[in-house]
Structure 1
Amino acid sequence: MRTKAAIAASVLIVGAQTASADTRSYQGDDFSIDTYSRTQMWVCDQESDGHEVKAEFRVNGYGNSLYLYDTDGANNGCQKLGSYANKIYQHRTIEVRNAFPDIVGGWVYPL
């Protein structure tokens, strides 16, 4: 009986955290994240490898992708952009590499 109660409690806790969490797209340790009810975009370079990182994202009502850059190539903070009146509905993280193809993280779709 205790096992069933423990499983039910852990499922409830995980579900509650997921429902309130912002959505992240990763490329290695670098990431982009939508915040403030999907109206702000952040991009964070976490690798100190000399490569800039950008977030490609799309906002309801805009026709094209928008971009946000963290250009220092160092693990020393994040860049943010927003607030948009409409919601961000898709974003991904891209590591920009000069003279080589960029490394692209997967698209994520915030709820």
Structure 2
Amino acid sequence: MGVAHAAEVYQGDDVSYGTDANRRVVVCDNESDGHGVHSDFYSFAGASWRVDDLDGMGGYCWESNQVSSGVAKHRTVEEVNNWPDYKSAWSYH
């Protein structure tokens, strides 16, 4: 049995999800399209955060630091040059 992830949110094939009892966000760039990917997220304490996938479609996912109050909501964002970014809907926890 695999590890459960809270609320996977896709933008195309790119994905972000909560992990570590919903205290971290993981983001994965799963498209070989030259667009960067990050996840915007907010803590239950009201702070805003961002975690970037730093290697593109290099095979690694990137994880945020732990948020002590927990992740309240997050979304996946595909960064598009010279156009508005593609954003998934928010996932509320």
State the TM-score, normalizing by the size of structure 1. 0.74
Q: CA deviation at 1:73?
A: 2.8
Structure 1 or 2, whichever has the larger Rg, is 1
Alpha-carbon distance between aligned partners in 2 of 1:40 and 1:93, rounded to the nearest angstrom:
14
Structure with more strand by fraction: 2
**8 Å CA contact retained: 2:37, 2:77:** yes
**8 Å CA contact retained: 1:47, 1:75:** no
Percent identity reads 34
Partner of 1:52: 36
Runs of 5+ unmatched residues, structure 1: 1-19
Runs of 4+ aligned structure 1 residues displaced above 6 Å come to none
**How many aligned residue pairs are there?**
90
Matched, 1:78 2:93: no
Runs of 5+ unmatched residues, structure 2: none
Structure with more helix by fraction: 1
RMSD: 1.5
Matched, 1:27 2:27: no
Partner of 2:24: 40
State the TM-score, normalizing by the size of structure 2. 0.87
